[in-house]
Amino acid sequence: MTATVSFEGNEIPPQQLEARARKLAGGLYDLGLRAGDVVAVLLRNDSVYVDVMLACRLGGFHFSPLNWHFTPAELAYIVEDCGAQAVIGHADLLEAARPALADGLTVLAVGGEQGDGQGDGQGDGQGDGQSVEQPALPYEPWLAQQADYSGPLVSPGTHMAYTSGTTGRPKGVVRASVPVEEIDDFRRRTLAVVEQVYGLRAGCRALMTAPLYHSAPSMYAQYAALAAELFVVAPRFDPEQTLALVERHRIDSLYCVPTMYVRLLKLPREVRDRYDLSSLRFVGSTGAPCAPEVKKALIDWLGPIVHETYASSETGYITVIDSVEALARPGSVGRPLGDAQIRVVDEEGKECAPGEVGVLYVRQPAHTDFTYRGRERAREEIGLGELVSVGDMGYLDEDGYLYICDRAVDMVISGGVNIYPAEIEAALLGRPGVLDCAVFGVPDPEFGERLHALVQPETDTTLDPAQLRDALRTTLAGFKVPRTIDLVTELPRDPNGKLAKHRIRAAYLESTPHPA
């Protein structure tokens, strides 16, 4: 039995939710989608997202979540690369993304002129009444006309997350199918991992406030919909509203990223004390390292119910650490979860001793293996036997606890979002007057990291950092635009011609104080 799903005060009981999923799976099957095919999703947080998740499990389709902050060019790349045969999205977002949608692509529009669009209140077209032109089909009337799924029993479909490497070009992570005869056993093993990571178990009451287009919130939502008694989806994260939802629905499992922790802790004590949070038994985070002082403050407030997990789209959930362990070992992300394996190797591929920093290679047998869509060679390049590395550096202590020292080369995690500077540097280099540039992350007390850029102007050229930032916003999503830009006379490069990014960042941090 699936959960009752609550969204903005409207509750969808399990029978109705399952009926909607059967109709959506049947409609997509009738459109020609088969197991392994892809539907792209351009939705804000919405109960329709749960329709998609459950329908894809039933029909074996993959869904590729699209970040609705992306520009049309960024969306077009992913829609084409993932091979989407249909797109489901909010009408106003589809209208803005129309240049990204190829002719002949089936488009299902949620909301629009029907007046039931779910805006996020953040100025991205909420309530503007716009609707996409044909061939877009209004989602609810279309869904009502579909027959239930009548295709074969197949391996459950899941999300196709897009992640990037050092080139900055997104790659779709495609999980291997589970043999039909192993589906029940695989689900049991996966749910056991999910319970340790997120506290999701049969009959729980779960809340999701993070954007569902991100990998971890998407995975949380998929299993909350399957295991919970009640799954509450919030349109967006608001610190005080989150506390109100916990109290109102007696939530016991809450997902957050560290940025959310910071914003919750910034609420005045009298506001925090206004809400009854005694139902909470598990608070979990992934997506970015949580600063030890932030975690301690959260534990002091909520009690020893805070957990952190080290994971990635490629590897799945590798470690978990609870509150007692976190206070005893500040900075650790825990020990291997279940049968997870971790190897730390040096530049020569030799095993590192405890406390010695090296490259992390990991494997979680509870997840099926993966490849990058259309880039099998890229998958092979990060393997070490059955283990893979996403470029993270760290070490294991004598007791097997993992500590992360650095992240994938050059990658910046800001507010739980992976950002790859190569894409931003390419955009900067395309601006008139820019000779060279380097983009990297610097510490930020709220977001963990924020983007900073160093730009070397061409000779006899005057550049204005504010104008550069404005220009970047025309081609990049807002969260990819560096918050600060400094002009420099020269940027060092290594003998191979590549920017000496680590030296550049280290020199900048040494000369510029930043809060931890």
In 67-204, which ranges are E strands?
86-90, 106-110, 137-138, 162-164, 170-175
Cβ count within 10 A of residue 212: 23
Closest C-alpha among 470, 442, 436, 441 to residue 455? 436
HSE-up of residue 194 (Cα within 13 Å, Cβ side): 28
Query: Which portions of the chain are predicted below pLDDT 50?
Result: 114-133, 165-167, 494-497, 516
| Burial status of residue 204 (CB atoms within 10 A of its CB: 0-12, 13-18, 19 or more) | buried
> pLDDT of 138-192, one tens digit each?
999 999 999 999 999 999 999 999 986 444 578 999 999 999 999 999 888 888 9
Closest C-alpha among 345, 363, 353, 343 to residue 397? 353
> pLDDT of 218-253, one tens digit each?
999 999 999 999 999 999 999 999 999 999 999 999
Angle between helices 14-30 and 47-59 (to 10 degrees): 60
Confirm if 116 and 140 have CB atoms less than 8 A apart: yes
Q: What are phi and psi of 209, to 5 degrees?
A: -115, -10
| Burial status of residue 382 (CB atoms within 10 A of its CB: 0-12, 13-18, 19 or more) | middle
**pLDDT, position 514:** 59
**pLDDT, position 122:** 36
Round to whole Å and give the CA distance between 457 and 240.
45
Closest C-alpha among 493, 476, 468, 382 to residue 421? 476
**pLDDT, position 470:** 95
Distance from the first to the final alpha carbon of the chain: 46
Residue 8 tokens, joined: 């903005």
Q: What is the DSSP letter of 489?
A: S
Domains of the chain as residue ranges with CATH: 4-160 (3.40.50.12780), 186-406 (3.40.50.12780), 412-511 (3.30.300.30)
Confirm if 39 and 86 have CB atoms less than 8 A apart: yes
Round to whole Å and give the CA distance between 83 and 99.
16
